[in-house]
Amino acid sequence: MSTDGRPSGHRSEKYIHIQQIYTMNDIITERYEAWLANAAADPDLIPELAAMDDAAKEDAFYRELDFGTGGLRGVIGAGTNRMNVYTVARASAGLADYVQTRREEAGKDPYAASIAISYDSRIKSDLFSRTAAAVFASKGIDVWLYPRLMPTPLLSYAVRALSCDAGVMITASHNPSKYNGYKVYGPDGCQITEKAAGQILECIRRIDTLRSWMAVSYNESGRPQGSIEYIPEQVCDAFMAEIRSQSVIPAGADIDRSVKIVYSPLNGTGLEPVTRALNEAGFTNITVVEEQREPDGNFPTCPYPNPEICEAMELGLQYCSKTGADLLLATDPDCDRIGVMCKDGNGYVRLNPNEVGILMLDFICRKMKRDGGGDISYTPVFMKTVVTTSMAEKVAERYGLKIKNTLTGFKYIGEQIEGLKANEEFIFGMEESCGYLSNPQIRDKDGVNAALLISFVAQECKDRGITLYKRMQELYREYGYYINVQKSYKFDGANGLSQMQSSINRIHKSMPERDGVMYVEEIDYSKGYRGLPLTNMVEYKLSDGGRFLIRPSGTEPKLKVYVEVEDRDLRGATEKYNNICKYISLILT
């Protein structure tokens, strides 16, 4: 027996495990009690804390909300694992320290820094934007704040237009209404990558969450004082001018623009910029989905405002049936993604995100060839993420484009745009999750830009007497039939992250062997591949041309699986797809 009365010998490992449990419970209790006594900056927090049971306390306080390349993202509410004024203030204080340190290291005045802020329609987005502005101002940083909600691409543009050191977008993108988030941008207008995220996280960890709150005075009209200024309207005008530059038809040209469009901003930020871009390009036959017109963070008619899924398009589809529209467009709450459906025959079909990108890329390539007479003086560059359809590479190769593959996340495309050589010109970038860009002055995916581009493609198709769907079938016959599908596996709760990591470890150790005519080759991106940054992703290539990739989400506790097959027709591709799904089942179960 030990001196404290507990069994000796094999008791050590078990006892340590019990102590770890008790220690975590103590941490949760300590955090909870501190918040209950002090979290008065937002009047919603104390009542929520008082109503928590033990399970709710654990979920709210068992960890600090993760900060990574996607910034912060989490459920709105009280606690260290929630989006609230305290976690936003803490992240802002850390970002401020990071920005000032970088300036000092570069020999610049740390108190001459500036940061731009925008926000979307989500619950408390305006409060969180003011919180971030207050913290930055308290640190001696000049703040540029949009006077009204604005999309993510306009934040990316403002960072560069105003020569800011960083940018912050308050948004949870396409997540359900209970979420909000905090995306960080570098001085190049791109979302931060791993190195910057790690350095910012180090700064954040030095700051106590409850002590991060700083106050700033606002007058009765809500106009900020001191070193916080509104972003001038001229920045929005300049952004729209950049969007107009993507037009392939002069605004005054006597050319048909009668394509009939139904558009939904999904109660987000897209209404003003999207309709303005379309109208200024001559597309005026637009019907807006009234129930989803105005900003509303509750998303009452669309609980999951993600244009990647069909449910988000249902109300717009009803409008299409009534109006006979040629095209249905929907942008997510921060308007950096777009979903597309089109009329075909007596009904409507959804174009998957890869198909939408292919249609845009083909259109841009043909325009480039016409404008350049088949001979251009620069090297045109096309960019895509590695999980995006390989069909895009076939299109780009046909037109002589240089192809750059990046890791998953549009931030890597933005980073590549920034690093182009003098004789290279960015033509188009796309990712499989409804993200597209053809304007190098913006360094993130842009739903406004994409809405205009796909409308031009739809008008061209209408002039030919075909639909977007029919045009896509022509391209499949030309390049081969591709099926690209993304699957997700969620890991919820306090043990979710560890369970997900166990699955990832199992994936790296598992290597499916021969099965009929297929053989799997493994590419482990965590060990490096073709000069790409190291990342936790694995790809399996099959001898029949198929492939699938598995990686953890950067913002949520879930694994994402990307499947791709190619064949001469849909039947053959479907058969290959089913075979790959058997491999996935073998690895993950």
The residues assigned a catalytic role are: 173
Quote the tokens at residue 160: 């560069």
Quote the tokens at residue 547: 């492939």
Q: Between 496-509 and 570-588, two packed helices, what is the crossing angle to 10 degrees?
A: 110
Residues 6+ apart with CB under 8 A from 511: 520, 522
| Whole-angstrom distance, CA of residue 60 vs CA of residue 39 | 14
- Hunting for tokens 């993600």 — which residue is that? 306
3-state secondary structure 84-96: CHHHHHHHHHHHH
Amino acid letter, 381: V
Quote the tokens at residue 495: 């043990």
Amino acid letter, 280: E
Q: 294: closest CA among 148, 118, 454?
A: 148
Q: 540: closest CA among 573, 515, 557, 575?
A: 515
Residue 187, phi then psi, degrees to nearest 5:
-65, -15
Amino acid letter, 278: L
| Whole-angstrom distance, CA of residue 539 vs CA of residue 131 | 41
DSSP string covering 192-206: P-HHHHHHHHHHHHT
CB 192 within 8 A of CB 141: no
* H runs (alpha helix) in 68-169: 85-105, 125-138, 152-161
Q: 87: closest CA among 24, 25, 39, 30?
A: 39
Q: Which residues pair with 184 in a beta bridge?
A: 168
| Whole-angstrom distance, CA of residue 420 vs CA of residue 427 | 12
Cα 262 to Cα 271, 318, 335, 452, 471, distances in angstroms: 12, 10, 16, 13, 20
**546-553 long-range CB contacts below 8 Å, 24 or more apart?**
546/518, 546/576, 546/577, 546/579, 546/580, 547/390, 548/580, 548/583, 548/584, 549/386, 549/387, 550/504, 550/507, 550/584, 550/587, 551/387, 551/408, 551/525, 552/500, 552/504, 553/488
Cα 303 to Cα 4, 17, 298, 338, 340, distances in angstroms: 56, 41, 8, 17, 19
CB 345 within 8 A of CB 320: no
End-to-end CA distance of the chain: 43
Quote the tokens at residue 351: 């174009």
| Whole-angstrom distance, CA of residue 253 vs CA of residue 425 | 27
- 73: number of Cβ within 10 Å: 23
Q: Which residues pair with 408 in a beta bridge?
A: none
